[in-house]
Amino acid sequence: MIPIRYSKRTITDQEQIDAFLLQAKVGNLGLTNEFEPYILPLNFAWWNGCIYFHGADSGRKIEMINANNRVCFSVCEEYGTVADPVPANLDTMYMSVFIAGTIDRVQEPDEMRDAMQAMIDKYVPGYYQVPLSLQHVLKYRSSMGSTTAIFRITPTSISAKGNPHSDEMKYYPGRKVEMDV
């Protein structure tokens, strides 16, 4: 892994990284074959130290995964702009995580169900009164008739960085430089 250049923003606290990945809503999957890169945003779950997501079992994404199972996954959340009387000192409050690893289609039925349940619990917590059944996962078909494939990204490296929240200097509409000098 290439070290983070702006090292003072490096985050190494695994609990903080885990908490971030548990709540972040959208990640970006990076794929490549021998000809081109491909990045797509998707919903995901951070579960058992891996990234899980689901999607159609055919198409460009599947072709690229089959061509090269080495992937990257990036998650970033922006929390606001830091105002400063010096224009070049404007900054952003954020946290980001970058994962490099390998991707596999999940084949084991219990892992498929549990990964899907982790996504349900993340995106619609408490909505369903009973856990997802194994039969539902195995028999589900999309509106286009395709089966749902569930994928696992196993990290080979994880890096994180961020600029902590600062409500004191956070920009808001109507804030003027005169208020800060």
3-state helix, strand, coil in the chain (%, to 5): 30, 40, 30
Residue 9: both structure tokens together: 């923003």
User: Which residue would you say has higher pLDDT here, 117 or 140?
Assistant: 117
Contact 72, 102 (CB under 8 A): no
Residue 70: what pLDDT? 97
- pLDDT at 103 exceeding the cut of 90: yes
Mean pLDDT calculated for residue range 4-16: 85
3-state DSSP assignment of residue 157? strand
Strands annotated E in the chain: 10-11, 27-32, 37-42, 45-47, 50-56, 70-82, 91-105, 148-163
Residue 57: what pLDDT? 86
CA-closest candidate to residue 71, choices 155, 160, 159, 2: 155
How is the chain split into domains, by residue range? 7-164
DSSP 8-state assignment for residue 83: P
Mean pLDDT taken over the chain: 91
**Top-confidence range, 53-62, 137-146, 150-159:** 150-159
**pTM of the prediction?**
0.89
d(CA 112, CA 137): 7
CA dihedral over 141, 108, 97, 170, signed as positive or negative: positive
Mean pLDDT calculated for residue range 139-157: 86
- CATH domain 7-164 topology: Pnp Oxidase; Chain A (2.30.110)
